[in-house]
Amino acid sequence: MSAYSVVTSDFVNVSITTSSQQSHCVERRFQKGITIDEFKGKLELVTGGNPSTMVVEVYDKNSKLICKLEDGQRLLGSYPIDDGMRVHIIDNFSRTDESLNNVEKFDMSEEEYAKRGDTVKAFLEINKLGKYNEEKMKNKEERKRQEEEAEATAAQLCKVGDRCEVCVPNQPKRRASIMYVGKTEFKEGWWIGVKYDEPLGKNDGTVNGKRYFECLPKYGGFVKPVHIKVGDFPEEEFDLDEEL
């Protein structure tokens, strides 16, 4: 009897990518009771790689490397590979286009794919994971809506010309004048453009070639509304003669 055994379900649904086409993937279902050598033979039909030279890596849903399938006689199911993971094939893929004409193709329409029950998509739908968890997605959308409303409300309290104190977490407080209030092209949401009293900023009111306001270099910055406290904050005077 083999020293390795399958201790989980009999099949696993994974997506497959290759070092030659990393942006393209196919999804397949495999028996966990096959050996790694047999698994590589099946991957040859899918990718055109050479079983004797291919390196097989397994990544989780966060693209973290979980393991490499190196022992040819070991069973696929004895490795920590689960539904939804990605199998990445590294090889030189030197097969000619002519030879690939005989390789089994797995292209199908979106309608046909949706009807299949052995895909990663089907697994996610059945188990209500990711975007198929309607309650979780609704809660996420509601939190995003509330955050956007709170940000817009905070932005409305800021007006160009107002004095303010910038209070970004883990950074010293800085006094400034508000120069811009609104949306920007460099990031989503509301932003407050400020001119600091000292050269503690990152720009001159220009970001990615677009000017939002004018000030001296290193005096300008953009801050989220929640980090702006509007009030009577006069410019601080610094007497250099008293400094040692």
Are residues 182 and 115 part of one domain?
A: no
Are residues 175 and 96 part of one domain?
A: no
* Per-residue model confidence (pLDDT) at position 138: 79
For the stretch 27-42, pLDDT in tens is: 899 999 999 999 999 9
Query: What is the residue range of 161's domain?
Result: 156-230
Neighbours of 116 (CB within 10 A): 12
Kindly tell me if the per-residue pLDDT of 119 is higher than 80: no
* Per-residue model confidence (pLDDT) at position 136: 74
User: Quick one: CA dihedral 91, 97, 99, 103, positive or negative?
Assistant: positive
- Extract the runs of DSSP E, i.e. beta strands, from 159-234: 163-166, 174-183, 190-196, 206-207, 210-211, 220-223, 228-230
Alpha-carbon torsion, ordered 115, 120, 125, 129, to 10 deg? -170
The tally of domains found in the chain comes to 2
| In-domain check, residue 143 | no
| In-domain check, residue 239 | no
65: pLDDT confidence band, cut at 50, 70 and 90?
Answer: very high
* Per-residue model confidence (pLDDT) at position 87: 93
Are residues 97 and 200 part of one domain?
A: no
Are residues 125 and 167 part of one domain?
A: no
Q: Which residue has the tokens 């790694």?
A: 36
d(CA 8, CA 117): 19
Neighbours of 44 (CB within 10 A): 19
Are residues 192 and 116 part of one domain?
A: no
Are residues 164 and 123 part of one domain?
A: no
| In-domain check, residue 145 | no
For the segment 106-126, the average pLDDT, to the nearest whole number, is 63
For the stretch 128-181, pLDDT in tens is: 666 667 777 777 888 888 888 999 999 999 999 999 999 999 899 999 999 999
CATH classification of the domain holding 197: 2.30.30.190
Are residues 121 and 83 part of one domain?
A: yes
46: pLDDT confidence band, cut at 50, 70 and 90?
Answer: confident
The whole-chain average pLDDT of the chain stands at: 83
Are residues 168 and 126 part of one domain?
A: no
